[in-house]
Structure 1
Amino acid sequence: MLDYIVVGFGLAGLSFVEQLELNNRSFCVFENYSQKSSRVAGGLFNPVILKRFTPAWSAQEQLEKSIPFYRNIETKLQESLVIDLPILRRFNSIEEQNTWFEACDKPILNQFLSTKLLKNSNLALDIPYSYGKVKHTGRIDIKGMLSAYLRYLDQKKCLVNESFEYNELIINEDFVAYNGLKAKNIIFTEGFGIKNNPLFNYLPVVGNKGEYIIIKSEALQLEEAVKSSVFIIPLGDNHYKIGATYNHDDKSPEITNTARKEIQKKLERFLKVDYEVVGQVAGIRPTVRDRRPLAGTHPDYQNVHILNGLGSRGILIGPTTAEHLYNHIEHNISLSKECDIERFEKLR
Structure 2
Amino acid sequence: MRPLRRPTLADVAREVGVSAKTVSRVLNEDGPSSAETRKRVLAAVEKLGFQPNLMARSTRTGGADTTVGLVVPDLSNPFFGAVAAGIEEVVHETGLMLLMGSSEDDADREATLTRTFMARRVSVLMVVPSVGADHAHLKAPRAAGMPVIFIDRPGNGLTSDTVVSSNRSGAREGVAHLIAAGHRRIGFVGDVPAALYTRRERLAGYRDALVSASLPYSRQLVTDAHHPAEAAEQTARLLELKDPPSALLTGNNFMTIGVVSELARRGRRDVAVVAFDDVPMAETLQPALTVIAQDPKAMGQSAGKTALDRLRGDRSRARTVIVPTTLIPRGSGELPSPARAGSRGRSPTEHA
TM-score after normalising by structure 1: 0.26
TM-score after normalising by structure 2: 0.26
Task: Report which structure shows greater RCO (CA 8 Å, sep ≥6).
Answer: 1
- Higher-strand-fraction structure: 1
Higher-Rg structure is 2
